[in-house]
Chains A and B, each alone.
Chain A
Amino acid sequence: DVKVTQSSRYLVKRTGEKVFLECVQDMDHENMFWYRQDPGLGLRLIYFSYDVKMKEKGDIPEGYSVSREKKERFSLILESASTNQTSMYLCASTPGQGRGAFFGQGTRLTVV
């Protein structure tokens, strides 16, 4: 079974902190994604990566950056956390276009 693992289930950070969310997948998937999920808004794409060191902005990249130094690992960075970044963050991977996505368990981030 494909496994996508996010480093934390719950995080509480202070406003202005730099926050790192880590994601690792074990099935050699090319594509990895970071979404945030908020009530009534659904999943919104922050960034995605289709290869090592390659990244593209999604629909809401402001305030975030990403890093993909190894194929299996995709990190989301909140440069200076703000309260409006309190959300559920979901990492996903897919083997290619037109295939189902495999999601991690999610990280519930609270910024105070």
Chain B
Amino acid sequence: SQKIEQNSEALNIQEGKTATLTCNYTNYSPAYLQWYRQDPGRGPVFLLLIRENEKEKRKERLKVTFDTTLKQSLFHITASQPADSATYLCALGNSGTYKYIFGTGTRLKVLA
């Protein structure tokens, strides 16, 4: 069955460092992959979408890579700030379907 894996353990990093979060998937060939941010008790907020024919995408301090051979996406936050502390979700999608498959998320804590 289709499976997405995100590191369930929290990631603690020092302010100013680059945070790297991982999303691995199996038994799926997504046409695109998305990253969302979720704060406690709130709905997810869409951050970035990367398509299967794109290797890398950037938005301000955020960078996403997508390796369809490794079946993996990496999500980077450069110059991290305490305000970046949140849970980050990845989601896979495909053409021909409206469904997204979400990972369980990785909690990031940026220490001042």
Contact = CB atoms under 8 A, between A and B. Distances in A.
Given A90-B44, A98-B32, A103-B44, A42 B105 contact: yes
Contact of B98 (A4, A50, A106): A50
B49 to A, nearest CB: 5
Contact of B104 (A42, A90, A94, A102): A42
Contact of B102 (A31, A42, A102, A105): A42
Q: In terms of DSSP, what is the predominant structure of the interface of chain A?
A: strand
Contacts of A4: 43
Interface in B28-53: 31-32, 34, 36, 41-47, 49, 51
Interface residues on B, range: 20 to 34
Nearest to B103: A42
B104 A31 contact: no
Given A42-B105, A100-B49, A105 B43 contact: yes
B89 interface: yes
B102 A43 contact: yes
A73 interface: no
Interface residues of A, number: 27
A45 B99 contact: yes
A7 B76 CA distance: 35
Interface string B71-109: 000000000000000000101010111111011110000
Interface of B: 8, 31-32, 34, 36, 41-47, 49, 51, 89, 91, 93, 95-100, 102-105
Given A100-B34, A103-B43, 19 more contacts: A4-B43, A40-B104, A41-B104, A42-B105, A43-B44, A43-B102, A50-B98, A90-B44, A92-B43, A97-B96, A98-B49, A98-B51, A98-B95, A99-B49, A100-B47, A101-B44, A102-B46, A103-B44, A103-B45
Instruction: Identify the 9 closest CB pairs spanning chains A and B, nearest first.
Output: A103-B43, A100-B46, A42-B104, A43-B102, A106-B43, A42-B102, A103-B44, A90-B43, A105-B43
